[in-house]
Amino acid sequence: MSERLDLPVTEWRRVSSKYVIVDVIGYVIFALMVLIPAGLVSYWIGFEWMWAATISLAIIFLLTIVFTPRRVRSIGYALRDDDLLFRRGILFQRFVAIPYGRMQLVDINRGPIARALGLSELKFVTAAAASGVTIPGLPEADAEELRDTLVALAETRRGGL
Amino acid sequence: MSTEPVASIPEGRYTDGEWHRLHPLTPLLKGGIAFVAILGYVVVSQRDRLIETFFGGEQTEGDPVVWLAEHGYAGFAILAVVAFLVIVIVAFYFSWRMHTFRITDEVVEVRSGILFRTNRKGRLDRVQGINIARPFLPRLFGTAKLEVNVAGQDANVQLEYLGSSAADELRREILRLASGTRAETTQTVVDASGTVIEQRVAELLAPELDPSIAPPESVVKLHFGRLVGSSVLSGATLFIVAVVVGVFVTLSLTGSLFSLVFLVPTVIGMGSYYVSKFTRSLRYSIAGTPDGVRVGFGLLSTSNQTLPPGRIHSVQVSQPLLWRPAGWWEIKVNRASKSSAEGAAGQANTTILPVGNRSDVLKVLALVLPDVDSAILERGLHSKGGDDGFTNSPKRAAVIRWFSWRRNGFALTDSAVLLRKGAIWRELVIVPQARMQSVALHQGSILRRLGLAEIRVHTVAGPITPSLGAIDATAATTFFLETADAAVRSSGRDTSHRWRSGEALA
């Protein structure tokens, strides 16, 4: 096993640990939506392979949920001089660097669970759909401050398309 | 009616900031399509009847046109059709009256619509390209359709139709205003001698590319033989050959003629596809002008588009396997706007060179990417790998890049990122650094086990998705950091949205 990817960035800012709760609840709801119908169908039809499929799905969901705290800890961002760095993922690692001047708009979204916990999600949109940087689990005040910082930084570095 | 005064159309200058109308023949050209459609319907529905009239045969029952003729309503029917046409043309006339446009120093603006008014403004420094299309019928009348592409989905400003020379003039003026130069362009004198007919004929016979706007050494033309060859050696042709062979094999095995049912429509479909492909690609040329790359083509219906500098977000040069013995390549680009015009050879207009040999490719690349050294491009196309200025995959990548690991690599120049891949289907992707939106580094569990990583460069959406897998993890990390810095540096010093602003006042 080779080493994990890392960048020489001294300080990654992490997202709020409360985001683990949001993510877990989201996964539990999704898992129930999939597993309950799958379980009922298996019960009625009663093929063994159906039970096997349902149980393996349940194990996958369980593992995903168990690893949620680790996954949330892997999300990080850093404001460098001229660009925004973002990272996430443990098994599939992803790093993105976006120059501030490339910003087209910044979105702040709040889902019902995240709102109850006072968290927001910040989405940084460029002209490329693939850039897709979404920083979840930011405390509301931080998200708004980060948005204003990003807009101000983008304004000073505005260029062509 | 519009409240503001509309300036009468002067010969030439549209860019005085006043509101102008389109060419007076517009309602006829647009309404004419309805006329052709009606005529076409009647001809198609009466085809059998015409055949019977000439060759004899039974009368068809239940046909509406036959019924009308037999009951003495033919006059009414013709009257109704004429009335309908008049209404259509009158409607088009009013929509023409209400359709006005103006070009100021900052924007191009169009107002249109009778009941539902629309008003569209495009910023000139966001212009991504200008198309001038001349479909055959409007071309006969000396008119053209001009389309200004602005960045975004469905963000085009259409001026349909304009006088042919006025369209050329308008394009020149829009590009001049967009380029940021304050120099006046010299007015080209249009030769207006001779009768109207002679002018039309001269215009029809004129070369598609005006020799005065581009130096001939920068012009790349598409050879007809190469076009034929490239189509023969394409996947579509292989498919039709397979179909024909399959049909004959079934025929000889089963003796049933049923399989011919598949053959006829396929052959007809492919035939019309090839004909339209060839007529659209005749007189194809791509040339460098001071205001960008100009791609033009067409024999009867002509079309040309100008891409100002800095509007090309990435370039892909690729070679299908069958083209390899002939040494042909194809060039595609990503652009920030979606133009409604089709490209040459019936392809998307993102394909700027449908087929070309090595020297054509290098010429076109020099036009679209003037800052990139041709030696490294040459190596990007043909090199088999090794120490050639590219950072290639290590040998352990051979597990997932069986043949291409020697060649699979990247290079970073002063102004662009080059990604090279494929030993069998060779491909080179070039992204100008000033156009990169962001850069990403990916690593999944298999790549991690091999100590490899994947890099992706994000640009605006298009046919090209620049990415390169199976790169040494350390090299990829270095590339990621260097590219991120280079993106910031290049976009900071990039002035191509006002590409001639540095020019002195002439």
- pLDDT top residue among B135 and B417: B417
Residue type, A49: W
- Residue B504's pLDDT band, with cuts at 50, 70 and 90, is very low
- Whether B278 has a pLDDT exceeding 90, the answer reads no
Pairing between β-strand A105-109 and β-strand A119-125 as defined by DSSP bridges: antiparallel
What is the nearest CA distance from A107 to chain B, expressed in angstroms? 18
- Determine the topology of domain B102-184+191-206 in CATH: PH-domain like (2.30.29)
- Whether A129 has a pLDDT exceeding 80, the answer reads yes
What's B336's DSSP letter? S
The rounded distance, in Å, linking the Cα atoms of B501 and B181 is 5
Pairing between β-strand B391-392 and β-strand B351-356 as defined by DSSP bridges: unpaired
Would you state the pLDDT for residue B394?
93
Which helix (H) or strand (E) covers residue A160, if one does?
none
| B488: nearest CB among A7, A91, A99 | A99
**Cβ neighbours for B135, distance < 8 A, ≥ 6 positions apart:** B145, B301
**Contact of B465 with A130, CB cutoff 8 Å:** yes
**Contact of B179 with B499, CB cutoff 8 Å:** yes
The tokens 């070679």 sit on which residue?
Answer: B319
Judged by DSSP in three states, A139 sits in strand
Give me the mean pLDDT over the B13-39 stretch.
77
Cβ of residue A157 closer than 8 Å to a chain B Cβ: yes
Would you state the pLDDT for residue B483?
94
Would you state the pLDDT for residue B506?
38
Q: What is the pLDDT of residues B83-98, one digit of tens each?
A: 887 887 788 888 888 8
The residue among A79, A87, A95 with the most chain B CBs within 10 A of its CB, best to mutate, is: A95
Task: Find the closest chain B residue to A125 by CA distance.
Answer: B437
- Whether B3 has a pLDDT exceeding 50, the answer reads no
The rounded distance, in Å, linking the Cα atoms of A147 and A100 is 12
Compute the mean pLDDT over every residue in chain B, rounded to the nearest whole number. 81
Whole-number Cα distances in Å, A37 to A43, A56, A134: 10, 15, 31
Show the 3-state SS of B11-24. Answer: CCCCCCCCCEECCC
Cβ of residue B494 closer than 8 Å to a chain A Cβ: yes
Q: What is the pLDDT of residues B191-241, one digit of tens each?
A: 555 667 777 777 777 766 766 677 766 788 888 888 888 877 877 777 878
Would you state the pLDDT for residue A151?
92
Domain layout of chain B by residue ranges? 23-98, 102-184+191-206, 223-281, 314-498
- Token pair for B243: 């179909």
pTM, full prediction: 0.82
Q: What is the pLDDT of residues B49-68, one digit of tens each?
A: 666 666 655 555 556 666 77
Would you state the pLDDT for residue B121?
87
**Contact of B494 with B342, CB cutoff 8 Å:** no
Dihedrals phi, psi of B459, to nearest 5 degrees: -130, 180
Length of chain A: 161
Query: Lowest-pLDDT range, A24-38, B151-165, B368-382?
Result: B151-165
Determine the angle formed by the axes of helices B26-45 and B74-98, rounding to 10 degrees: 150
Q: Report chain B residues whose CB lies below 8 A from the CB of A8.
A: 481
- Whether A66 has a pLDDT exceeding 70, the answer reads yes
The rounded distance, in Å, linking the Cα atoms of B420 and B418 is 6
Dihedrals phi, psi of B211, to nearest 5 degrees: -60, -20
Compute the mean pLDDT over every residue in chain A, rounded to the nearest whole number. 90
Would you state the pLDDT for residue B26?
83
Cβ of residue A156 closer than 8 Å to a chain B Cβ: no
The rounded distance, in Å, linking the Cα atoms of B309 and B288 is 10
Give me the mean pLDDT over the A15-19 stretch.
93
Percent over 70 (pLDDT), chain B: 84
Q: Residue B421 CB: number of other CB atoms within 10 A?
A: 22
Query: Lowest-pLDDT range, A23-37, A109-123, B13-27, B106-120?
Result: B13-27
Would you state the pLDDT for residue B400?
92
Q: Do B441 and A133 touch (CB under 8 A)?
A: no
Percent over 90 (pLDDT), chain A: 65
Q: Do B487 and A157 touch (CB under 8 A)?
A: no
Cβ of residue B459 closer than 8 Å to a chain A Cβ: yes
- Whether B403 has a pLDDT exceeding 80, the answer reads yes
Give me the mean pLDDT over the B322-345 stretch.
81
Query: Lowest-pLDDT range, A69-73, B171-175, B209-213, B283-287?
Result: B209-213
| A92: nearest CB among B437, B444, B494 | B444
Domain layout of chain A by residue ranges? 19-70, 76-156
- Residue A11's pLDDT band, with cuts at 50, 70 and 90, is confident
- pLDDT top residue among B40 and B342: B40
Would you state the pLDDT for residue B62?
59
Listed ranges B27-36, B252-261, B443-452; the one with the highest mean pLDDT: B443-452
Percent over 90 (pLDDT), chain B: 23
Give me the mean pLDDT over the B15-31 stretch.
81
Query: Lowest-pLDDT range, A81-90, B127-136, B250-259, B281-290?
Result: B250-259
Would you state the pLDDT for residue B451?
92
- Residue A23's pLDDT band, with cuts at 50, 70 and 90, is very high
Q: Report chain A residues whose CB lies below 8 A from the CB of B445.
A: 91-92
Reply yes or no: is the peptide bond before residue B161 cis, omega within 30 of 0.
Answer: yes
Q: Report chain A residues whose CB lies below 8 A from the CB of B492.
A: 101, 157, 159
Query: Lowest-pLDDT range, B147-161, B230-244, B339-353, B447-461?
Result: B339-353
- pLDDT top residue among A138 and A158: A138
Give me the mean pLDDT over the B431-437 stretch.
92
Q: Do A94 and B434 touch (CB under 8 A)?
A: no
Q: Do B437 and A102 touch (CB under 8 A)?
A: yes
Q: CATH: 1.20.1250.20, 2.30.29.30, 2.90.10.10, 3.10.450.630. Which one for A76-156?
A: 2.30.29.30
The rounded distance, in Å, linking the Cα atoms of B266 and B127 is 41
- Residue A79's pLDDT band, with cuts at 50, 70 and 90, is very high
- Residue B343's pLDDT band, with cuts at 50, 70 and 90, is low
Q: Do B487 and A128 touch (CB under 8 A)?
A: no
Q: Do B480 and A126 touch (CB under 8 A)?
A: no
